[in-house]
Chains A and B, each alone.
Chain A
Amino acid sequence: MAIEHSPVQLTKADFASDQMVKWCPGCGDHAILASILGIFPEIGYKKENFCVVSGIGCSSRFPYYVNTYGFHGIHGRAGAIATGVKIANPHLSVWIASGDGDATAIGGNHFIHLIRRNMDMNYILFNNRIYGLTKGQYSPTTKQGQITKTSPFGVIDYPFNPGELVIGARGTFFARAIDNSPKTLGEVCRAMAAHDGAAIVEVLQNCVIFNDKTHAEVTNRELKEERQLWLEQGKPMIFGKNRDKGIILKGNHLEVVEIGKDGITEEDLLVHDATRENTGVHMMLAQMCPPEFPMAFGVIRAYKAPTYNQIFEKQMEEASQDSPIKCVDDLLNSGDTWEV
């Protein structure tokens, strides 16, 4: 299902839209948009072959700000709409922009099922842990206890961790990035684009108005080196300001260790392998959070498996070769018929 490439090298300007971007000043969404505008020309497909689909929410305004074919759907349904786009036309590069409410509350069912099916698309999950467009109600990723407009006594719900959902649904690709780190955001999106199948990137995104600094425990300037573990394929898991901390697998759980202490060397550290089919370590990595652990960033899981669309197209091809019914006239006249 090759997607046709552009005969000329495209630039960021080819994808810039004429619409005024109406996100709040300081919103993390601006950085995500900038990253995507940078990556689309790099991917090299014809500009008409990108299709960006969204649901409802601040992040779901995304399609208006990228000059591609775009579809702004209804709340929660981006995944289902995009599924139809991709099955109907496998020669399109399909992208979804969705938020934590859109993807994991009202659209939770579509989210897990497109992952389970390994539907070939790129899904950016803007996680600001709040409903922004409706002005500040808690979402499925809001921390327990947080005061919001609809939780004046604190949120009672336990939150979802999107990574757990993705990996729990046996997703083939999950990565995590931060809105204020354009370089790493770009790298993660590039890896997502290169992955065949349902590729989900969770971007920790700041909502300056309704949930400012919600991710500060990992993004804070002073803390970030101690609280962010950037995973690299084939490399030991090292983090910390002095790059003196690492992750080991002890028994059936992960543990933070200091390199050089208690005889621990780099050799003892867990080496990242995103490509394994087994979800065990990927799940544990996705679950890590402060204060006990750093949070894992980068590509946590990228397992190569046939996509829904590859299998679908193969069935279509084989059926048309094997079946004696080649057109509707054949169908109408098949089976038991008689002349009067």
Chain B
Amino acid sequence: MTTKTLKEKENVVVRFVGDSGDGMQLSGTLFSETAALDGNDIATFPDYPAEIRAPHNTIAGVSGFQVQIGKRIYSSGDNCDVLVAMNPASLKSNLKWVMKGGIIIVDVDTFTDDAIQKAGYTNNPLEDDSLSSYILVKAPMTTMTVEAVKDIFTDKRSSERSRNMFALGMIFYIYSKELTYTDAYLDKKFKKTPDIIAANKAVVRAGYNFCENTDVLQAQKTVVGQAVMTKGKYRNITGNIATAWGLLAAAEKAKLPLFLGSYPITPATDILIELAKHKSLGARVFQAEDEIAGICSAIGASFAGAMACTTTSGPGLSLKSEAIGLAVMTELPLVIVDVQRGGPSTGLPTKTEQSDLYQALFGRNGEAPCIVIAASSSANSFYFAFEAARLSLEHMTPTILLTDGYLGNGSQLFRIPKMSDLPEIKPPFATPNDTTYMPYKRNPETLVREWAIPGMEGLRHRIGGLEKLDGKGSVSTESANHQLMVNNRAQKVQKVADRLPDQKVMGDEDADLLVVGWGGTEGALKLAVEELRDEGKKIAFTHFNYIMPLPKNTGDIMKKYKKIIVCELNMGQFVNYLRMNFENIPMLQYNKVQGLPFEVSELKEKFNQILGEK
């Protein structure tokens, strides 16, 4: 190996793209986890089509996985330093994500006339100079993969299958990563098929060695920034797994069985899949016949004394609306997780969006307030799922947790907490044989009712969706009582704010612009603001996780700044909610509804433009 000075970069973004079925998710995951073990911070995002296997070599069938590794990582990045494209269609649909001067590695063997045409190219893009502003690496991945496994496999299908490992080997070379983690993964995953282990190991090495003999790539060998991380034990985690674990942690803290009633829906299904594995932790998971049965079974479970949850995405939340109202009326704890996706209707099932906020806040008949909170990173989905359960259980109110496809499917490093460091959860259980028990008697401070669980002696009672008489809880249609109960339910939710942490602001008190965000966009917004501050701009940033109710100091913060811009992946749902709450504070807005996360570059451009205006 030549001893050249290696390039250095704080962060790099790698994007693996190919036909769905080409194994891009696996290449991406193995690279991410290897980097994490090697001391880089990471954030990943899979970008896959709604179809499982769309027609071969078409744009519709392109599946991708992007990862950013390095020193200071808040998101999976905008544009990539390296694009690995396994066929012409994936090159065509992803070229826009490659930064000028970036590296494009293609499997040149796949650029047949037929595939080039299917991708919608008129000329072979590898030969017409259209890629001259990039470093193009034409690697014969298929040929070399077949060559590497010729002693193991002879049939075409088996021989070519490990192409994704060739690509992975190349990326390992460029970023000087060891193969140890991948070897260990393969040994475990294919324990029963030693041929596959041997083939994959041979191919990943072939890819690595190919680079070593390719001058252009030797020059690109790069050392990526090491993360400065708080001491502790770490793992890589997706937002959906983190959500599932946060719910399990809350159930353990509350000493209650966890019940999940759910129906499969993209991109929330992974939470159901994860919780279904954990019967040993007492997770009672029920895959229902539909979304409505998912939530209704959870309401029944909550009545019966479980920590009940239902998980879904936008259209599923619509189906659950009536039942959420029932949980509001019966004042039972219930966590509703909405992993938002592009809407309306079926919309863009595999793409991210923040457009369910109105639905979460207002999407029910009657005056039906819920607690609404939002996670803002894949890793903190753990804490906000825990928090959703804690608030719901302690305030006897359904709580909607909003995450999104970007957080749910994306992954991040997660510093593993100790259960003993998490707060206690103390649901307001009724006392058996309490002769003064009444189902709707409230704690005068919090307005929370007591939870009497079937089986408890001396507390038999009936509740349901009809309006209840204050205190006693029998059915009542009396007008003054209805007003009182509507007020009580609203105030009970507002009083949750007494227990919320203050909203925090990053940046200068006298900043010229306050950037406001909520939920899954935190990474991109924070990075954009930090970069502008590094450039000397006076800009501040506040990001909301608690939405209904808002933290008590929200108004004080908003009043301080001359200009405010609220950024969100919808047409302005949070900004309008803030305007409703703070009528006299002018707010600008920046919105995008393209099924994609914010790019730091577009945010900086927008903020700069506002900062430049007088």
A residues adjacent to B (C-beta < 8 A): 19, 46-49, 51, 53-54, 56, 63-64, 67-74, 77, 79-89, 91-92, 109-110, 113, 312, 315-316, 319-320, 322-323, 325-329, 331-333, 335-340
Contact = CB atoms under 8 A, between A and B. Distances in A.
A337 B416 contact: yes
Interface stretch (B128-136, B197-205, B283-291): B283-291
B322 A74 contact: yes
Contact of A319 (B234, B280, B286, B290): B280
Interface string B323-345: 10010001000000000000000
Contacts of A335: 235
Nearest to B259: A88
A96 to B, nearest CB: 11
A306 B270 CA distance: 29
A83 B286 CA distance: 9
Q: Is the interface of B mostly helix, strand, loop or mixed?
A: mixed
Contact of A87 (B259, B461, B462): B259
B301 A109 contact: no
A48 B459 CA distance: 8
B300 interface: yes
A223 B323 CA distance: 45
Contact of A84 (B230, B300, B461): B300
B586 interface: no
B197 to A, nearest CB: 18
Q: Which residue of B245, B279, B280, B475 has the most chain A CB atoms within 10 A of its CB atom?
A: B280
B455 A81 contact: no
Given A80-B300, A328-B252, A69 B461 contact: yes
B462 A323 contact: no
A93 to B, nearest CB: 10
Contacts of B235: 332, 335-338
B279 to A, nearest CB: 4
Contact of B456 (A48, A56, A83, A337): A48
B418 interface: yes
A46 B300 CA distance: 20
A109 B293 contact: yes
B234 A331 contact: no
B363 to A, nearest CB: 16
Interface stretch (B20-28, B302-310, B487-495, B565-573): B302-310
A64 B459 CA distance: 15
A67 B296 contact: no
Contacts of A72: 462-466
Given A70-B462, A85-B304, A328-B252, 8 more contacts: A47-B460, A80-B289, A81-B297, A83-B288, A83-B296, A327-B281, A329-B419, A337-B233
A331 B248 contact: yes
Given A85-B300, A89-B305, A48 B457 contact: yes
B232 interface: yes
18 contacts: A48-B457, A49-B455, A51-B303, A51-B454, A72-B463, A72-B464, A85-B303, A85-B454, A87-B297, A89-B306, A92-B304, A109-B293, A319-B279, A325-B280, A327-B281, A328-B249, A340-B229, A340-B234
A323 B462 CA distance: 39
Nearest to B325: A74
Given A72-B464, A80-B288, A337-B235, A315 B279 contact: yes
A323 B279 CA distance: 9
Interface string B397-429: 000000000000000000011110000000000
B296 A80 contact: yes
Interface string B257-291: 10101000000000000000011111010101110
Nearest to B246: A328
Contacts of A326: 280-281
A338 B461 CA distance: 51
Nearest to A67: B460
A47 B456 CA distance: 10
B33 interface: yes
Contact of A63 (B37, B419, B462): B462
B222 interface: no
A107 to B, nearest CB: 9
Contact of A340 (B33, B232, B454): B232
Contact of A92 (B278, B296, B455): B455
A320 B280 CA distance: 4
B304 A84 contact: yes
B462 A64 contact: yes
Nearest to A83: B297
Given A48-B455, A73-B326, A88-B259, A316 B284 contact: yes
Contacts of A63: 462, 464
B281 A74 contact: no
* The 3 residue pairs across chains A and B that have the minimum distance between CB atoms: A72-B464, A84-B300, A84-B297
B205 to A, nearest CB: 22
B281 A331 contact: yes
A69 B453 CA distance: 8
A113 to B, nearest CB: 4
B298 interface: yes
A109 B263 CA distance: 14
B350 interface: no
B292 interface: yes
B92 to A, nearest CB: 35
Given A51-B304, A89-B306, A91-B455, A332 B245 contact: yes
A84 B281 contact: no
B243 interface: no
Given A47-B460, A92-B455, A87 B293 contact: no
Nearest to B307: A88
B12 interface: no
A73 B464 contact: yes
A71 B234 CA distance: 45
Nearest to B297: A84
Contacts of A83: 261, 286, 288, 293, 296-297, 300
B291 to A, nearest CB: 10
Interface string B437-473: 0000000000000000111111111111110000000
B286 A48 contact: no
Contact of A81 (B36, B248, B299, B417): B299
A89 B456 CA distance: 12
B279 A84 contact: no
A63 B302 CA distance: 18
B499 interface: no
Nearest to B330: A71
A216 B302 CA distance: 43
Given A109-B293, A323-B280, A338-B37, A89 B252 contact: no
A262 B394 CA distance: 75
B301 A74 contact: no
A110 B282 CA distance: 25
A325 B282 CA distance: 11
Contacts of A48: 454-460
B63 interface: no
Given A67-B460, A72-B466, A325 B278 contact: yes
Given A73-B296, A81-B299, A331-B248, A113 B289 contact: yes
Given A71-B303, A74-B323, A327 B419 contact: yes
B236 interface: yes
Given A74-B323, A88-B308, A339-B233, A331 B278 contact: yes
Contacts of A88: 257, 259, 284, 300-302, 304-306, 308
Given A84-B299, A320-B280, A340-B232, A71 B416 contact: no
B179 to A, nearest CB: 16
Contacts of B281: 325-328, 331
B465 A316 contact: no
Nearest to B466: A72
Nearest to B432: A48
A336 B286 contact: no
B293 A89 contact: no
A268 to B, nearest CB: 44
